[in-house]
């Protein structure tokens, strides 16, 4: 008995060839989409993330920034009253924070962008047990954080604060409660010191390893 030969029309053969091509195309598209979802966020996302920018009253006073305890913690210099004639200029711990979106840009570019906010919350040490203002706790002798003691805020705006080197300096009290708003300080109150001694762009980066890299 002779084998039966089945002949396909040219249209059927073209259809058979089209099926694997279509399958390959679908698989390829799926792989591309999966790879796109699997990739980490673009580096540019750090520079486009939503930033908290300074807010001012109609009269130009800076409004106390919001949620600063959720910002990037920079460091805590310490100037105890007992080591500064009984009254330090900024008593006593200086807990410094930078607005997260601004920090992300600084980390990427090495420059503080316009609108950068530094929040310095002051904090007293616990009551002294020794003449130098220190005390002894379970971890040893030293200075330990006590009550909040007001805040100072610095804002970068080259146009608004051209007279003070492009940064505005604000005192929200050196006691509690913190003021709701604050006027910008004159050049001879804050800016002159930053301009003379701060390491980078009028910022004391030399005291903060997170910024001084």
**Could you name the CATH architecture of 55-207?**
3-Layer(bba) Sandwich (3.50)
pLDDT at position 201 is 96
The residues near 202 (Cβ < 8 Å, ≥ 6 apart) are 165, 166, 167, 191, 194, 195
Q: Where are the domains of the chain?
A: 55-207
pLDDT at position 13 is 53
The Cα–Cα gap between 13 and 5 comes to 15
145 phi, psi to nearest 5 deg:
-60, 135
pLDDT at position 43 is 43
pLDDT at position 37 is 42
Least confident of 11-20, 63-72, 135-144, 185-194: 11-20
- How sure is the predictor about 30, in pLDDT bands with cuts at 50, 70 and 90? very low
pLDDT at position 18 is 55
- Report the mean per-residue pLDDT for the chain: 86
| Residues 75-89 pLDDT 10s | 999 999 999 999 999
Q: Tell me whether the omega of the peptide bond preceding residue 177 falls within 30 degrees of 0, making it cis.
A: yes
Rounded to 10 degrees, the C-alpha dihedral 185/188/191/194 comes to -140
Residue 164's alpha-carbon distances to 4, 167, 170, 206, in angstroms, are: 97, 6, 12, 21
pLDDT at position 117 is 99
| Residues 39-65 pLDDT 10s | 444 444 445 569 999 999 999 999 999
* CB-based burial label for 83 (10 Å; 0-12, 13-18, 19+): middle
* CB-based burial label for 56 (10 Å; 0-12, 13-18, 19+): middle
Token code pair at residue 162:
């051209």
pLDDT at position 213 is 77
């Amino acid at each position: 008995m002779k084998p039966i030969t089945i002949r396909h029309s040219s249209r059927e053969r073209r259809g058979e060839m089209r099926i694997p091509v279509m399958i390959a195309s679908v698989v390829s598209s799926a792989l591309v989409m999966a790879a796109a979802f699997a990739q980490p966020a673009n580096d540019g996302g750090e520079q486009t993330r939503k930033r908290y920018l300074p807010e001012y009253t109609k009269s130009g006073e800076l409004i106390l920034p919001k949620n600063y305890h959720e910002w990037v913690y920079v460091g805590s210099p310490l100037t105890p009253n007992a080591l500064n004639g009984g009254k330090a200029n900024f008593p006593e711990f200086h807990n410094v924070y930078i607005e997260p979106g601004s920090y992300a840009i600084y980390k990427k570019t090495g420059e503080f962008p316009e609108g950068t906010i530094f929040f310095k919350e002051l904090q007293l040490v616990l009551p002294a047990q020794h003449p130098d203002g220190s005390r002894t706790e379970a971890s040893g002798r030293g200075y330990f954080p006590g009550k909040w003691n007001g805040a100072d805020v610095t804002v970068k705006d080259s146009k608004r604060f051209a007279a003070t080197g492009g940064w505005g300096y604000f005192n929200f009290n050196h006691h509690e409660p913190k003021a709701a708003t604050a006027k910008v300080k004159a050049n001879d109150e804050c800016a002159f010191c930053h301009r003379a001694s701060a390491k980078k762009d009028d910022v004391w980066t030399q005291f903060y390893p997170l910024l001084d890299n």
